[in-house]
Structure 1
Amino acid sequence: MKLALRWQVLLLGFVLGTSGAFAADTPTPSIQAAPLAQRPGHAGIASANALATEAGFEVLAKGGNAFDAAIAVASTLSVVEPESSGLGGGFMATLYMAADKHSVFIDARETAPAAVNPKDYLNPDGTPNRDTALKGPLSAGIPGEPAGLVWLAKHYGKLPLTASLAPAIRIAGGFKPDERLLGSIREEQKNIERWPASAAKFLPNGNAPAQGEIWHDPDQAHTLELLAKYGDSGFYSGETAKKLVDAVRQAGGDWTLKDLASYRVKERTPITVDYRGYKIITAPPPSSGGVAIAEILNILSGFDLTKLDQAHRVHLVVEAMRRAFRDHNDYLGDPDFVKMPLDMLLSPYYADGLRQTIVPDKATPSSMLAPSNASDPGMHTTHFSIIDADGNMVAITATVNYVLGSTFVADGTGVLLNDEMDDFALVPNKPNVYGLLGSKANAPEPGKRMLSSMSPSIVIGPDRTAVIGSPGGSTIITQVLEGILAFIDGGDAHQVVAHKRFHHQYMPDVVTVEPGAFDATTSDALTHMGYTLKQREPWGFMNVVIWDRRTNKLDAASDPRRQDGLGKVQ
């Protein structure tokens, strides 16, 4: 322990004296890859639901661009995939504008209400109260997705919001739910039954809709119509806002009309990192994902992974994951509230020091860095990727947090609220539902944005470009990392989304392994190095679009682990 602490202190002292070459507040440089001036001439969309993908293409056919299509996809997912995202949640987006080769990050993350009280999330004995953190109105942050959709239309789209929201409004009039949604409703039925408006929406006649049954969501259709007609004021003030606040407060929550009226979208500078000739454009805080991915890639840049057998490659990747997640837990939070040492965390010099602590043939016990306990990560969020005919790109990861969010629907709105308050460090150094730890940097405060793992990313290489992201709680970070590595190794869209996964998040000190990820020789070698391997069912729902600029062809794919997504090019 003393040795581990000593090298950390030495590294900290050394790195704080270096320049912040990768600082997040440095303006994003223009991308200089020569072929990027080319137009694809056609478009690719990959999302978690076929209806959402088709909605995106419908809006493109009306003359919209990738950003208009993103509004259509996100709003349709709110209707057909409420277990993962929706108007009651938030999103993070990495955008790339082809005309000026400029990228920007849109932060439509939820915020804590002004009356937030950490004591509401504690049991009498001081332990975390998982019910108030995950179910009902106290678990819900102020939604950001509606404002984010309006922002996209106003600042980046070509079409009026009415046109981009039209597919979702129509689909809310009647559609056939997929088995994932029906299964989620059955899984959460007891919680849904606690809230009359939730039961009315998700349990018609007292039960989940039957397979093949037409499902109607007229309240959400009306909420979408008000958003389309009035923009921000159609959700954050007026009829919808009053219904939201009345419903939340009557059920024991603490929202106010001022909380809704005060919500603002934030534009931030993306994090960029160079790795093996590829530029990765990814999410800054309050996402932890981009910082962790950049830190891992900086560590790995000192190794030639292509010359290693699988066991030693996995060993180095896991050790880099371990160190990045440790820093994630200690330092990161909402940049509007917390001063973070991003110059240090994103510095190649800091990565050099971390790299020197990796033993070539032996696992580093996480207990040498700091002890803790945590649980398995979960899987409830959504991601979609878009490249349009002009080369504009959108990577959006959206969420209501856990399956069906808080399970609380605000009466008369059709809006299922998130349970993002659990993403705060409600009890410092105690794991949330995804097993992630947190410090005071991620403690709840009025108006503060909770830390996220969402990692929507764009990867620009010498001759190929990828738009990539995935749901998966804390595994989002490692999924996107491994997808980026698979893309850099030459994988096409289908190979990238199908790539077998493994995950380590510092605590618990276990390598979670998807069946078939490692052969027996690799598993034996990793066990001999000191790793504990734990197999679990396949996870994630990655959606990727790749532009091969040599052939000027697009390739879109949705994760084969789920049968409901659609990656399509036309």
Structure 2
Amino acid sequence: MMLRSALTGLLLCVGFTALPAPAAEAKQAAHPPGAAIASGHALATEAGFEALRQGGNAFDAAVATSAALSVVEPISSGIGGGGFFLLHDAKTNRDVFIDARETAPESATMQAFLDPKGELDRDRAENGPWSAGIPGLPAALVHIASKYGKLPLRTTLAPAIRLAREGFPVYDRLARGYRSRSDVMERYAGTRAVYLADGDPPEVGEILKQPELAHTLELLAQKGFDGFYRGETADKLVAGVKAEGGHWTAKELAAYQVREREPLRFKYRDWDIVTAPPPSSGGIALAEILQMVSGWDLRKLDDAHRTHIVVEAMRRAFRDRTIYLGDPDFVTVPLSRLMDPNYAAGLRASIHPEKATPSDLFDAKPAPLEDDETTHFAIIDRDGNRVSTTQTVNLLYGSGMVVPGTGVLLNDEMDDFALRPGTPNAFGVMGFDKNAPKPGKRMLSSMTPTFLQSKDKVIAVGAPGGSRIITEVLLAILGYDDGLTPQQVAALPRYHHQWYPDVISAEKGALKPDVVEALRKMGHTVNDAEPIWGNVQTVEWNRATNTLSGASDPRHPEGKGEARAQP
């Protein structure tokens, strides 16, 4: 099948290790033989293991990994952004979804993002203070540490504080990202103070130090929630946003709350899947797509028909995403209907096995890429606790604005709202009234941290990629169902369809020429020469062999997935 055959050239085994089982093991192991962590940067993976060495659990390791990524991957995420944490507590056998999505400030009305002609002001939506929602990630770190962890924040944040103060080597992706966003980033004094500290932009191999961010993290470690959302840091954030023409208030910062939500659950073949609920759109889309394609044995289809069926399911799920989904605290999401296998069966019946179904809106332009702007990590510890987390600042380096005196790079998540209903955002995704901004509302997201469990295997997986996160995780699930290893899953070639624009986007070489030709004869528009995208991170515990594996996407060599014995 295509998912297997197209691996050639990608299986570099970057950042992958497996921890073997002892010689004699029971048929079904009760606990993993150690711990596995996979993240987008080796220094963040190491921060997670440091927390485990200090006596922490997977949730402490998640805090440490998340905070370290916030320092070493400012291109992708940070404490000026937000994220979703999917947790499994092995002792209670409970899954919980921690929603740390950013929220809209009171000033962020739809009218505030329109130009004098009534069109969407792209610059205001994507750059600078108006584009930033109230950050959620710091509150999540505090919440997880206090409710699920074993270690104090001063311990779990120590690696991130050290990395911010002492610095880390600039890598290619960070330097390239800065060059692509320099015209925006250099508008802001706080950003220039960090990234032009030596007089020129970051270059590969240079040491990037962020002393003000180190101080901000120290206040978070010392004072918890109040160390960021009240007092010194909060005052600087409000003043810095106002100085650049935006408007935040101390009240709305102090009012931020994470939400604990019940994850979504559904079955696909022999897999029990636990995934992200709204305000993520990913879990519902996964359920719809997998329930639709379950009407075929994908492993018996030729590559062209397999791709056609999966794409048609993607098309229908993304249409529902656009129309029905939003923040469940503000709008009614028809969850039971969208998750119902009978609803999926109705959608499946509309799929012609030999012909593409044209989308309501047709545009042959490829969907804009998000590759480096979001990050994911996955963790399993020796007790069987597990974490799947996706965190982001949205576009490359978020809003581009570092608030002076804080080191905090603000997100530009306001663009994920339907700021002008029916107008696509930076990733080509449209929205309507259900995802319109309101004070305190969370913007719809595609972040899809996910767990899979079968008779023998326990897996955590996720990815960055904007709207393509959903289809990356989908292809990962299908890869695991095909029997691939974690490293093969992380390396899988990618294709994507999101209803609008009506085009199959594919990495160069992901689809064979004969498959592309067959898809075009079915009526599909195919762009089969896109650059690589995404950055899958995944860990697996095979309970039959009692082995652990961690895998990091070989597209980005700075990532690392590793399994180790746990003290």
Contact 2:362–2:502 (CA under 8 A) maintained in structure 1: no
Cα distance between partner residues in 2 of 1:377 and 1:123? 25
- 1:80 and 2:72 equivalent? yes
Partner of 2:104: 112
Which of 100, 121, 125 aligns to 2:113? It is 121
* Structure 2 SS opposite 1:205: coil
Contact 1:43 1:389 in 2 (8 A): yes
Deviations 1:373-424 (A, max 9, x none): 8742322100001111111110000000000000011110000000000000
Change (3 A) 1:177 1:126: same
Match of 2:557?
563
1:36 Cα deviation from its structure 2 partner: 7.7
Question: Which residue in the other structure is 1:206 paired with?
Answer: 199
* SS of residue in 2 equivalent to 1:180: helix
Post-superposition shift, 1:520? 2.2
Aligned to 1:222: 215
Instruction: Report deviation, 1:289.
Output: 0.5
CA–CA distance in structure 2, aligned partners of residues 400 and 45 of structure 1: 22
Structure-2 separation of matches of 1:495 and 1:563: 15
Identity %: 54
> Relative to 1, partners in 2 of residues 1:418 and 1:146: Cα closer, same or farther, differing over 3 Å?
same
3-state SS of 2:174 partner: helix
Query: In structure 2, which of residues 241, 245, 251 is the aligned counterpart of residue 248 of structure 1?
Result: 241
**TM-score normalised according to structure 2 size:** 0.93
Aligned partners of 1:238 and 1:521: how far apart in 2? 62
SS of the equivalent of 2:460 reads strand
Structure 2 match to 1:30: none
The answer for the alignment partner of 1:54 in structure 2 is 46
Distance 1:254 1:214 in 2: 34
* Residue 191 in structure 1 maps to residue 184 in structure 2: yes
Partner of 2:446: 453
| Residue 489 of structure 1: aligned partner | 482
Would you say the 8 A contact 2:229–2:253 is kept in 1?
Answer: yes
Whole-Å separation in 2 of the counterparts to 1:260 and 1:355: 45
Question: Partner of 1:396: helix, strand, or coil?
Answer: strand
Q: Which residue in 2 is equivalent to 1:395?
A: 388
* Aligned counterpart for 1:404 among listed residues 394, 397, 402: 397
The 2-side partners of 1:439 and 1:343 are apart by: 21
Distance change in 2, residues 1:469/1:412 (3 Å): same
User: How far does the alpha carbon of each residue in 1:74-111 deviate from its partner, in whole angstroms, 9 at most, with x for none?
Assistant: 11111110010000000101111111221010000000
The unaligned stretches of length 5 or more in structure 1 are 1-33
Q: Is the 8 A contact 1:35 1:463 kept in 2?
A: no
User: Which amino acid letter does the alignment assign opposite residue 139 of structure 2?
Assistant: A
Structure 1 pair 361–330 and aligned structure 2 pair: CA distance change class (3 A): same
Given that residues 75 and 398 in structure 2 are in contact (C-alpha distance below 8 angstroms), is that contact kept between their aligned partners in structure 1? yes
Asked whether 1:136 is paired with 2:128, we answer: yes
State the shift of 1:127 in Å: 1.3
Give the aligned residue type for 1:366: S
Query: Is 115-124 or 262-271 further displaced after alignment?
Result: 115-124
Following superposition, the deviation at residue 152 of structure 1 comes to: 0.6
**2:363, 2:503 within 8 Å by CA — same for their partners in 1?**
no
Do structure 1's residue 93 and structure 2's residue 104 form an aligned pair? no
Stretches of structure 2 lacking an aligned partner (at least 5 in a row): 1-25
Question: 1:498-551: CA deviations, max 9, x gaps?
Answer: 111100000111000112212222122111111111020111011111111111
State yes or no: 1:66 paired with 2:58. Answer: yes
- The offset of 1:164, in angstroms, is 0.4
SS of 1:554's partner is: strand
Q: Among 221, 230, 239, which residue is 1:237 paired with?
A: 230
Q: Which residue of structure 2 lines up, in the alignment, with residue 432 of structure 1?
A: 425
Which residue identity lines up with residue 130 of structure 1 in the other structure?
A: R
Q: Distance in 2 between matches of 1:221 and 1:165?
A: 10
Deviation at 1:371, TM superposition (A): 5.7
Alignment partners' CA distance in 1, 2:363 and 2:179: 33
Q: Which has the higher contact order (CA 8 A, sep 6+)?
A: 2
**Local SS of the residue matching 1:505:** coil
Contact 2:369 2:533 survives alignment (8 Å): no
TM-score (norm 1): 0.92
Question: Distance between the aligned counterparts of 2:168 and 2:344, measured in 1?
Answer: 50
- Contact 1:199–1:206 (CA<8 Å) still a contact in 2? no
Q: In structure 2, what is the equivalent of residue 322 of structure 1?
A: 315
Match of 1:140, as an amino acid? A
Q: Say what the alpha-carbon RMSD is for the aligned residues.
A: 1.3
